[in-house]
Amino acid sequence: MIKKGNKNTAYVITTSIVAALGGLLFGYDTAVISGAIGFLRTHFNLNAYEMGLVASCALAGCVVGVVLAGFLSDKFGRKKILLLAAVLFAISAIGSAVPENITQLIVFRIIGGFGVGMASMLSPLYIAEIAPARMRGRLVSINQFAIVSGILLVYFVNYLITDNTNELWNIDFGWRWMFASETLPALLFFILLFFVPESPRWLVQKNRNNEALNILSKINEPKKAKTELSEIENSFSKDEDSFSRLFTPGVRIILIIGITLAILQQVTGINVFLYYGPEIFKNLGSGTNAALIQTIIVGAVNLTFTIIAILVVDKIGRKPLLVLGFSGMGISLVCLGLAAYFQNTGLWVLIFILAYIASFAIAIGPVTWVVLSEIFPNKIRGRAMALATVFLWIANFVVSQTFPIINENEWLVNKFHHGFSFWIYAFMCVVSVIFVIRWIPETKGKSLEEIEKMLNGTRICKDK
* pLDDT band with cut points at 50, 70 and 90 for residue 283: low
Q: What is the pLDDT of residue 1?
A: 34
* pLDDT band with cut points at 50, 70 and 90 for residue 242: low
What is the mean pLDDT of the segment spanning 310-331? 91
Mean pLDDT of the chain: 85
246 pLDDT more than 90: no
Contacts of 432 (CB under 8 A, 6+ apart): 264, 268, 322, 326
The tens digit of pLDDT for each residue in 74-132 reads 889 999 999 999 999 999 999 999 998 899 999 999 999 999 989 988 998 899 888 88
Of the listed ranges 142-146, 270-274, 325-329, the one predicted with least confidence: 270-274
The tens digit of pLDDT for each residue in 1-14 reads 334 456 788 889 99
Q: What is the pLDDT of residue 463?
A: 44
**Burial of 429 by CB count in 10 Å (0-12 exposed, 13-18 middle, 19+ buried)?**
buried
Q: What is the pLDDT of residue 190?
A: 97
285 pLDDT more than 80: no
135 pLDDT more than 90: no
Q: Cα dist. 26→124, 136, 230 in Å?
A: 12, 21, 35
Cβ count near 101 (within 10 Å): 8
CB 25 within 8 A of CB 182: yes
Q: What is the pLDDT of residue 243?
A: 63
Crossing angle of the two packed helices 251-267 and 270-283, in degrees rounded to 10: 10
* pLDDT band with cut points at 50, 70 and 90 for residue 252: confident
Considering 56-65, 277-286, 403-412, the range whose residues carry the highest mean pLDDT is 56-65
* pLDDT band with cut points at 50, 70 and 90 for residue 464: very low
Cβ count near 343 (within 10 Å): 11
Q: What is the pLDDT of residue 445?
A: 77
CB 297 within 8 A of CB 310: no
CA-only gyration radius of the chain, Å? 22
Q: What is the pLDDT of residue 169?
A: 92
Q: What is the pLDDT of residue 347?
A: 76
Among 260, 304, 358, residue whose Cα is nearest residue 145: 304
417: which DSSP letter? T
Q: How far is CA 84 from the centre of its chain?
A: 18
CB 25 within 8 A of CB 185: yes
Q: What is the pLDDT of residue 3?
A: 47
What is the mean pLDDT of the segment spanning 365-371? 88
The tens digit of pLDDT for each residue in 164-222 reads 788 899 999 999 999 999 999 999 999 999 999 999 989 998 889 999 999 998 888 88
Q: How far is CA 431 from the centre of its chain?
A: 21
Domains of the chain with bracketed CATH? 15-196+238-461 (1.20.1250.20)
Give CA–CA dist 283/223, Å, rounded.
60
Report which residue type is found at 105. Answer: L
pTM of the shown model: 0.75
Helix residue ranges per DSSP H, 134-180:
136-161, 167-169, 175-180
Higher pLDDT, 416 or 442: 442
